[in-house]
Chain A
Amino acid sequence: MTDNIILRCEGVNKLYKQGEETIYALRDVSMTVRRGEFLVLYGRSGSGKSTLLNVLSGFDTPTAGKVHIDGQDMEGMNDRQRAKLRNEKIGFVFQSYHLLPILTARENILSPLLIGKRPIDEGYFRDLCETLGITSRLEHLPSELSGGECQRVAVARAMIGRPAVLFADEPTGNLDKRSAGELIRLLKQAHEVYGQTIVMVTHDETLLEYGDRVYRMENGTPVLV
């Protein structure tokens, strides 16, 4: 059963100090993510969704508490080990894409493998691009792609290394309705075809149906719906 749990956090707190004021972005969060699950985090703006995602993915450190990704604890790791963990276990899709502007779509997608000096699975790469519908756009720079295409490239980049967990922070936030629907369907497809574990953050209630489980963030605490 424990094998099935890919991500676990216990007693995670995150505070932000601003002058005299302290903001409790996360309050005593304990939750688990199961392997192969599509988990949706939902909540109002400012409820701490992004903060939770960042802490879970290791992009940020919690003020207190522990996070285990695939059985490994980031705390106490050195820079190299952390980098390796991020490279192999984590994929991330951002609201504002964050593609590398100086690299083409193909280079962007392959970057995680190249950084980790991992072999490139050409079949998987082609497959992925086909699934996401970006095969014809691979030689373009991000500035030459539409928002929807950018985000699909970002998804491909996040998935190329077959990460343990794919985190997506409001991936549809910058897209129009049609592109958003398309992207979420593609994510779902990837989840089903490749058995990819996904943790997605959204404030859009219409997306809740895609989740295997849904948490609602309330004032820094996730509540299972």
Chain B
Amino acid sequence: MEKSYIRFYALREMRARPRTFLPLFAIFFGVMLLMGNLLIYAQCQLTSDIAYYKVETQLILPDLTEEEVFLLRQMDFVRQAEAVETDRYTYTCYVELTEDVNTRVYAISDSLLEIIDRLGLDDRSDPYIHFLYWYHDQQTGPSEAIDRSRLFNGRYMNALRDGMFQPATISLACIAALMLFAVVVLVYRMKIEQAAKEYACLVGMGMSLRDLGKIQYLQGFLLLTAAFVPSQLLAIGTMKIVSLLSFRLYPEFDGNQALLFSVPWSTLGILYLLYLCAMLLGTRLCLAPYRTKSISAILSGSADKIPYVAKSSVKFLSRGNFDRYGNVWKQRNRRNVLPVMVLFFCLILFPAFLFGAFLGGIFDVRDALTDTGSRAVVQLHAYGISGDGYKGVPYTVIRELASLPDVDDVRFSYDYKVKGMTTLADQAGGYTPVNTSGGAVDCQQYMVTSFAGERPDTGEVWVCPDFPAEVGDTVTLRQNGKTVDMVIGKKHPGLTMRIPAYDKTRRIYEIAFDETLYPALYGEAPVMLSGYISICSSVPDGEIPALLQKIAVLTGDTKVYLNDHDRFLHGTIERSYLLENSFYQNRIGTIHSAFLCLFFLVQTLYLMLCAASVIGSTISFQLHRRRAEFAVLRALGLENTAIHALAASYTGLLFRWVIPVLYPVLVLFLYFGNPDAGIRTNDFGEKVIGALPTLYYGLGAYAVTCTVLYLLYGGTARYTSARSAGQMLSVPLAVSVKERE
């Protein structure tokens, strides 16, 4: 104890007051664990994506002229540009970038833009344009851009999208630090207020204010570190397990779906520093008011801020007008509204949002895992980029695919417009449009060789149950100026209607027909099919690789790629057909997101429990401090119920003040925070509407918390005022450590 009194006192205080320090530790631990996990998860995704680009990035640029290829080769960031003649005088160019560019995601993106710029490729083909729009102007949703740009570098797009997560990561870290700051300010304020007389005593004995501050900093530092190290180890450990699990379960998937694990030391370091700053700043802020107060004022208690009550309102009790007193009480409470609001937002609402999000995630995952109707869907990508036009998959091969024993269903899809008509041709003009706006219905049309074991009869079309016409009605399909009339034979539940994200007013209906329609629309029998061919199978997980192998053998020229990365980097160059096991991929993604969801769910729950305990102890401290006042009121003849009401009035105030402030904050929060309703949609109103369910969820959580708070206040007041007035009025400083807590 001789060594350093500061250290001695700081440690002694921590040991002597577990009820003050343990909740603080618990909440530090909770905040850090949750934030650490989110950050580490994000970072792992990012590093595993970027890791690929360190290996190789290839840009694929179709339709270049010889001159352009020449120019391309002159560019200083282009290491190699392989040109393959696709047509007479046009080339598809496979560009590899120099090493210094190749290792940085943003540099890759810059060089691609530069190529587009210098060669004037903007108007050349779809992918570029969309990529460009996305890059220059965030208005085009990234998801859409990624879809359209898949052809030349889907994986690269993913990395970019995740790269965009970096700002989100940083803001998440800032939120974490802010939460910590709020906790420190609120709890330290309470803690310092509680021990103010002791500190004044120390200062009276000759301790400088700086040294007093050091005691607080040291305690904060110890708590912070004690919470940080195990929480981050736990977070890292969890991530490691998730990563291991994803590798172990599906060893044939590497890197892409399985999460590449690495400990983001720098992120953790920055996070720790942020926490430390928040703690220092918070402590300083809490100590600040005591700097200007005299020792005697703190010791005598006259430094406790009880607002000056004007003489007129002091007469309240003598006149039997209790409302006045209630008003004074409310005036006092009002000063506490803002900090408590911050505490609420940080510790209750924010975790509640996360909780809601993860809960939703769990339900999705459960649905996906227990969905018995789900089948393995293997997609055969048949876009050819060499030769004249699309190369496609020969129709004979598709037939053979359908006849494989494990394959239930083979369909090839293409978008069509269907002119809706009914057979009630006696109406004016002969035809009545099915829909009112021009008579055309968008359809995603499947030509099927097999559909869940059946297939439509010749000349018959199957539609989804939502289709705006009835069985027996006639519909007209249009393609390339040709039309053909078909009779709706069945409303099939396996077909669906979907609303495209880019235009919510549109409806796209799925319809299915057999191959006899093809010649009627195209004028010739199908020889080759390009695009996506979905091969559905209900084989168990373990047999999927074998099935893929079978399909690969059948299609001959097809190479089986098990993940996006391989496909996008190598597939398009060497082969015309690509097999992608989409179901398989979803499944593994589902599993690791399930694990994480569950983990985050438990964490947010824990955080909310911590927050409840902190808020609970804040309340009991507040009321405990005023118990002498309660005692006097009771001695003056006030009923217990009135005192309870007084104590609980704080909640009402909170409710009245917080809702108008919190509502817009919540809307803004959701506006930026909710990815579906948020940035991707341009329309503000739509964003807000999209955010409404979450908003209601938040308000619900808030209302529940307020109610709980109300009960807590009332209960604490009951407990406090149940003691005798005499007991409550005598509270000397050093009665006992336990009593004062």
Contacts and interface: CB of A to CB of B under 8 A. Distances in A.
Interface of A: 18-19, 50, 54, 59-61, 79-80, 82-88, 90, 92, 94, 96-103, 107, 110-112, 114-117, 120, 141-143, 150, 157, 161, 174
Given A18-B308, A61-B294, A103-B12, A87 B205 contact: yes
A136 B1 CA distance: 21
B210 interface: yes
B295 interface: yes
A106 to B, nearest CB: 10
Contact of B299 (A88, A98, A101, A174): A98
27 contacts: A19-B310, A19-B311, A59-B295, A60-B295, A83-B203, A83-B206, A84-B208, A86-B205, A86-B206, A87-B205, A87-B207, A90-B206, A99-B733, A101-B733, A101-B736, A102-B12, A102-B737, A111-B202, A112-B205, A114-B1, A114-B8, A115-B211, A141-B736, A141-B737, A142-B734, A143-B734, A143-B735
A208 to B, nearest CB: 24
A85 B734 CA distance: 26
A50 B296 CA distance: 9
B294 A102 contact: no
Interface string B320-336: 00000000000000000
Nearest to A120: B2
A100 B198 contact: yes
A71 B5 CA distance: 29
A111 B202 CA distance: 8
B206 A79 contact: no
Given A101-B736, A115-B211, 14 more contacts: A19-B310, A59-B299, A83-B203, A86-B204, A90-B206, A96-B733, A97-B733, A100-B198, A100-B202, A102-B198, A102-B737, A107-B1, A114-B8, A115-B5
A97 B296 contact: no
Given A54-B296, A61-B294, A115 B205 contact: yes
Secondary structure type dominating chain B contacts: helix
Contact of B732 (A18, A96, A112): A96
B207 A115 contact: yes
B637 to A, nearest CB: 27
Contacts of A107: 1
Nearest to A85: B206
Interface string B409-421: 0000000000000
Contacts of B211: 83, 115
Most buried by B among A79, A98, A101, A115: A101
A114 B206 CA distance: 10
A91 B131 CA distance: 77
Given A59-B295, A115-B5, A99 B206 contact: no
A47 to B, nearest CB: 16
Contact of A59 (B5, B202, B204): B204
B204 to A, nearest CB: 6
Nearest to A99: B734
Nearest to A17: B308
B209 interface: yes
Contact of A54 (B1, B294, B735, B738): B294
**Residue of A18, A96, A114, A161 most packed against chain B (CB within 10 A):** A114
Nearest to B295: A59
A150 B734 contact: yes
B297 interface: yes
B740 interface: yes
B206 A84 contact: yes
A94 to B, nearest CB: 7
Nearest to B740: A101
Contacts of B300: 50
A99 B205 CA distance: 11
Interface string B1-22: 1100100110011001100000
Given A79-B209, A80-B208, A114 B2 contact: yes
Contacts of B687: none
A57 to B, nearest CB: 8
A113 to B, nearest CB: 9
A98 B201 contact: yes
Contact of B13 (A79, A80, A102, A112): A102
Contacts of B294: 54, 59-61
Contact of B208 (A60, A61, A83): A83
Nearest to A116: B206
Interface in B1-52: 1-2, 5, 8-9, 12-13, 16-17
Given A59-B204, A87-B205, A143-B737, A102 B210 contact: no
Give the residue among A19, A60, A99, A141 with the most B Cβ atoms within 10 A. Answer: A60
A88 B297 CA distance: 22
Contact of B202 (A50, A110, A115): A115
B297 A60 contact: yes
B225 to A, nearest CB: 22
Contact of B734 (A82, A88, A97): A97
A157 B735 CA distance: 18
A98 B195 CA distance: 11
Contacts of B9: 103
A101 B310 contact: no
Nearest to B6: A115
Interface in B172-197: 197
A101 B737 contact: yes
B205 A111 contact: yes
A98 B733 contact: yes
B117 to A, nearest CB: 62
Nearest to A144: B736
